[in-house]
Amino acid sequence: MSRNVVFAVAQMGPVHLADTRAQTVARLIEMLREAHGRGARWVTFPELALTTFFPRYIYDTPEEYDAFFEEGLPSPAMVPLFDEARKLGVGFYLGYAEKITEDGQVRRFNTSVLVAPDGTILGKYRKIHLPGTKDPIGDIEFEHLEKRYFEVGDLGFPTYGTDDGRFGMCICNDRRWPETFRVMALRGAEVFMLGYNTPTRNIHYPEPAHLREYHHRLSLESAAYQNAAWVMAAAKCGSEDGFAMIGGSAIVSPTGEVVARAASEDDEVITFSCDLDLGAYIRRSVFDFARHRRIEHYGPITSQTAIEVTE
Ligand code: CDT
């Protein structure tokens, strides 16, 4: 038996500092329509999809950086996208910079939201593995200041039941950490959705540019296979005001194989009819968690962060 659902990944080309939210949301809506035209029920959009990847820049005050954040869900800028998606009956994942006020405290997160085809907001995920630094490195082509602008996510890795299976969300750097996907898999996720902005150059240590795409793909493929789940990965890519980011948006099957891949570094929709039961045989055999996991030996995973050698 198969349970086929068409999923789309909507890769974005660059969003420049001068681009308005209205222009950017219009691009998302165009891709949403294209995905719908190809029969998609769900679309995955990138991380921080509504603006340029602003953590590359140094800002000192909220007055400077709050322009990149959204308040309310949907925020005023998101409303046209939410309306069109509900009209078309397409669900989606959208990454955005979230600003909330809680008990009089302003908080900011790198967030994604999952919205059902009928427009119901199923839930949010707030990025946990924030890369980069809080303080500028200085004397460098660009910064990566996510730790400056965002708090570490406080929602864990929730999963959400939908009419088309159970989905989990993560964001960009989270995909490099196997714990991310295993926690979601243990909570029943059959589909992992993620958006990313990955600079082509690694500012933290020199490495060949081709490794940026290779490690991205390696992370997706292993996550899919080791958890018998589908992966939907959407890039924001190309040259944003001269700062290059990798493309390589992909749909990966539970066998660990890339079944659809973006060819450009521009706005591009990829789709695939995904059999949500494909992972079942893997979950019954090599990755039957209930029979084979040995949690009595996994203690350091949750009790240690750094390496500790005791013997
Ligand atoms: N956006 C994001 O998380 N990017 C990181 C860059 C890591 S290098 C500082 C990534 O893992 O792709």
Strand 165-171 with 191-196, pairing: parallel
Q: CA 119 to CA 81: how far, in whole Å?
A: 10
Q: CA 262 to CA 249: how far, in whole Å?
A: 5
Query: Token pair for residue 248?
Result: 């390589």
Which residue's CA lies nearest to atom 12 of ligand 1? 198
pLDDT digits (tens, 9 = 90+) for 55-76: 999 999 999 999 999 999 999 9
Banded pLDDT at 311 (limits 50, 70, 90): confident
Q: Does any ligand 1 atom lie closer than 6 A to the CB of residue 131?
A: yes
Say if residue 74 is preceded by a cis peptide, omega within 30 of 0.
yes
Partner residues linked to 91 by β-bridges: 42
Strand 159-162 with 121-126, pairing: unpaired
What was the pLDDT predicted at 133?
A: 98
Region 236-258: mean pLDDT is 98
Banded pLDDT at 33 (limits 50, 70, 90): very high
What was the pLDDT predicted at 112?
A: 99
Partner residues linked to 199 by β-bridges: 245
Tell the residue number behind the tokens 């706005």, with chain if given.
267
- Specify the CATH class of 4-294 in words: alpha beta
For 167, phi then psi, to 5°, come to -115, 150
Region 254-271: mean pLDDT is 98
For 253, phi then psi, to 5°, come to -90, 165
Instruction: Please state the atom number of ligand 1 nearest to the C-alpha of residue 216.
Output: 12
pLDDT digits (tens, 9 = 90+) for 287-310: 999 999 999 999 999 999 999 998
pLDDT digits (tens, 9 = 90+) for 139-181: 999 999 999 999 999 999 999 999 999 999 999 999 999 999 9
Q: How far, in Å, from the CA of 224 to the mean position of ligand 1?
A: 20
The answer to whether 130 and 154 are in contact (CB under 8 A) is no
What was the pLDDT predicted at 1?
A: 57
Quickly list H helices, the chain: 21-37, 62-65, 79-88, 146-149, 178-186, 209-227, 280-284, 289-292, 299-303
pLDDT digits (tens, 9 = 90+) for 96-147: 999 999 999 999 999 999 999 999 999 999 999 999 999 999 999 999 999 9
Give domain limits for the chain: 4-294
- DSSP for 66-124, please give it: GGG-B-SSS-GGGHHHHHHHHHHT-EEEEEEEEEEEETTEEEEEEEEEEE-TTS-EEEE
- In the residue annotation, 47 being an active-site residue is answered as yes
Which of 144, 148, 217 best tests ligand 1's pocket when mutated (most atoms within 8 Å of CB)? 144
Q: Does any ligand 1 atom lie closer than 6 A to the CB of residue 202?
A: yes
For 80, phi then psi, to 5°, come to -60, -35
Partner residues linked to 270 by β-bridges: 9
Cα distances (angstroms) measured from residue 173 to each of 95, 127, 146, 198, 231? 13, 9, 11, 8, 15
- Tell me the pTM: 0.98
Instruction: Please state the atom number of ligand 1 nearest to the C-alpha of residue 131.
Output: 9
Which of 53, 172, 219, 249 best tests ligand 1's pocket when mutated (most atoms within 8 Å of CB)? 172
Q: Does any ligand 1 atom lie closer than 6 A to the CB of residue 200?
A: no
pLDDT digits (tens, 9 = 90+) for 199-231: 999 998 989 999 999 999 999 999 999 999 999
Query: Token pair for residue 214?
Result: 């290779």
